[in-house]
Chains A and B, each alone.
Chain A
Amino acid sequence: MEEKRREELIEYCVREQLPVIEDDVYRDLWIDNPPPEPLKAMDFHGNVLYLGSLSKTLSPGLRIGWIVGTESVINRLADLKMQLDYGSSTLSQLVAAEWLSSDLYDLHVGNVREKLCIRRRTALDALDKYLGLYATWEIPKGGFFIWIRIKSPFKVKRLFEKALAKGILINPGSIYAEHSGQFIRISYGFASLDNIKKGIFELCEIIKNQ
């Protein structure tokens, strides 16, 4: 989102007393340029609840994330968390603390960013080669997802099923919004480079033969 629009948004939310939840778990996975500062950095009224996590950048299995907010809100949520699970695992918390307080975390995410850049290139090349006729997309500036708009009249629900039958798992847009039936979301973060190419090629074959 543009810098000016971000400022407008935070002004609007302050004026209207709208609380904001800023879910920023992909921040460190920028690829081209660092993203603008979080809304939370412009928040001097405590409107913003800010969420972060190690799940996307380091390890989902650690189960460590955080909420930042005004103390009264954090006290309330901390009390609820105690009632739910008496706190996150000590072992995970100590490991996470060690990662964040050494320079290893920054080195690691730097390394991940380089690899994501290569992976994104592979996915975009394959998309250009195989899906250019049937779909449109925008180049993500970070993270590991590409939202692909399949041109009608190809049916995305059927694409999902046929792809699964061929051994490829994609996420249909319909699970992410009511009116996003023509979208699929694919990740270039997990599969091997060969499988990314192969998967996108197979999607093309399915659409072509519909």
Chain B
Amino acid sequence: MKKPKYQLIVDFIKEKISIGEWAIGSQIPSQRNLAKLFEVNRSTVITALEELMAEGLIEGRAGKGTVVTNNTWNLMGNQLSTNWNENVSLGIHKPSVSTVQEINEAESNNNLIQLGKGELSPDMFPLEEMKSIVQKVSNQLTSFGYEKPKGNIKLRQAISDYLKVRGINASPSSILVVSGALQALHLISIGLLKKGSTVFLEVPSYLYSLTVFQSMGMDLKGVPMDSKGLMIDSIYQTKEKGKNIFILFQPFIIQQVF
């Protein structure tokens, strides 16, 4: 016999709760999203939620939506489980602002027209060249050990040569390989900056959309720009030396916008 639709929702939520993916205290998806997910009317969702409420697994809370209040293990054994929901707000790193989280989520949706993504279109990806390079690399492979702290020497030498063409003299020992510029910023924020430092940066800047510096107790301060670039006079110098760091962001890309 085919299960009624509301029962499918009940089973789905129970499964999520019983395997611990939705821990006690976590918010479950909104009625609207559940209705969308299961392609049913809101009333079907409400029937399912009422059943779960009657079993004591979930509860509606003002301002918080519907949250998980019990798991099946608790109901059976009356044991307490870790309240992850408290912990997820205790970690030192700040969460992204909600709009950024929403954008990050929506960026993987292929049905949307992506006018925000900071990434080149797949039709510009050099697939054939990448294949031949991966092939070439695979023919030279040796065992994968841990790399040197600053990164693979062959790559650092290649970066050094690449930078030379662009006017920068840097030997491989002054180059650190990282997994993207964001990790570089993170390392700088935890390794070189004092708490309470001020980070000056262009306005607008993508750094405002991250919390990498704020999480480490630093303030962001915008420096206005005119048609010639950053307005140096307006850099506000606090008295304490060594406490400020200045960020320059992609000088020829960002134009005057204010």
CB pair A168–B118 under 8 Å, yes or no, is no
Q: Does B52 contact A (CB under 8 A)?
A: no
CB pair A26–B253 under 8 Å, yes or no, is yes
Q: Does B75 contact A (CB under 8 A)?
A: no
| Contacts A38-B167, A40-B168, A41-B167 given; does A19 touch B256 at CB 8 Å | no
Q: Place the interface of chain B in its size category.
A: 35 or more
CB pair A138–B203 under 8 Å, yes or no, is no
Expressed in whole angstroms, the Cα–Cα distance for A81 and B177 within the complex equals 9
CB pair B113–A24 under 8 Å, yes or no, is no
Tell me how many residue pairs across A and B have CB atoms closer than 8 Å.
Answer: 346
| Contacts A94-B137, A100-B162 given; does A183 touch B257 at CB 8 Å | yes
Expressed in whole angstroms, the Cα–Cα distance for A198 and B114 within the complex equals 11
Which of A51, A145, A191 contacts B181, CB < 8 Å?
A51
Chain B positions 182 through 208: 1 when the CB is less than 8 Å from some CB of chain A, otherwise 0: 011101101110000000000111101
Interface stretch of the complex, out of B4-12, B28-36, B58-66, B225-233? B225-233
Q: Does A112 contact B (CB under 8 A)?
A: yes
Q: Does B76 contact A (CB under 8 A)?
A: no
The distance from the CB of B64 to the nearest CB of chain A, in whole angstroms, is: 22
Chain A positions 193 through 209: 1 when the CB is less than 8 Å from some CB of chain B, otherwise 0: 00110111010000000
Chain B positions 246 through 258: 1 when the CB is less than 8 Å from some CB of chain A, otherwise 0: 1111111111111
Chain A positions 134 through 149: 1 when the CB is less than 8 Å from some CB of chain B, otherwise 0: 0000101111110101
Expressed in whole angstroms, the Cα–Cα distance for A3 and B187 within the complex equals 30
Contacting B at CB under 8 A, from A162-207, are 164, 167-180, 183, 185-187, 189-192, 195-196, 198-200, 202
Query: When A and B form their complex, which 10 residue pairs have the shortest distance between CB atoms, in order from nearest?
Result: A1-B229, A41-B167, A176-B204, A35-B252, A37-B167, A63-B179, A177-B204, A100-B158, A97-B155, A93-B152
